[in-house]
Amino acid sequence: MINKIIDILQFRESSEADNETDQPSVTTGSVVWGVILRSAIIITASFLFVNPLYIRQYWWIILFALWGLVFYPAYRQYQSYNKRIKTLEDETLCGSCKHFDSTGQMCRLYDQHISRNHIPCEGLDWEPKNFEL
């Protein structure tokens, strides 16, 4: 848990290593969690320091901080995640299965993360996506 929070605060981007493990460090959920956590830290810090330091006229710095430290890194993380998950979809059986949830690198049926090395059903419950209505 501590490592996960440190990953989020370091704006770590998705890497190919996440395709090999069933505990990926970046998913859509972790990107959203990162936005909430980083925004909370910046907004709390602004409440704590703006009034005591008499720097109200520099309120726009907070907007730049939110853009540069929260939204832009989150956007980069999300782009990088989507690129990686596309590769994973192309390389694994789960990528063509209707039970695969690409937003979380998860199998909805087994409620587990999937990876190149871990297909929870071992192919037994695979159902093609194109039969979904």
The residue ranges that bind ligand SF4 (CB under 6 A) are 93-94, 97, 99-100, 107, 109-110, 114, 119-121, 125-126
**Cβ closest to ligand SF4, residue 20 vs residue 68:** 20
- Which lies closer to ligand SF4 via its Cβ, residue 7 or residue 89? 89
Distance of alpha carbon 11 from alpha carbon 103, whole angstroms: 18
Tell me the closest approach of the beta carbon of residue 24 to ligand SF4, in angstroms. 15
DSSP SS3 for 121: coil
Q: Could you count the other beta carbons within 10 Å of the beta carbon of residue 82?
A: 13
End-to-end CA distance of the chain: 38
CB-based contacts of 85: which residues, under 8 Å, 6+ apart?
102, 105
Min separation Cβ 87 and ligand SF4, Å = 16
Nearer to ligand SF4, 55 or 93 (CB): 93
Distance CA(23)–CA(46), nearest Å, equals: 34
* Distance of closest approach, residue 125 Cβ to ligand SF4, in angstroms: 4
- Report the nearest approach of ligand SF4 to the CB of residue 13 (Å): 25
H or E element at residue 106: strand 106-107
Closest CB to ligand SF4 among residues 8, 114: 114
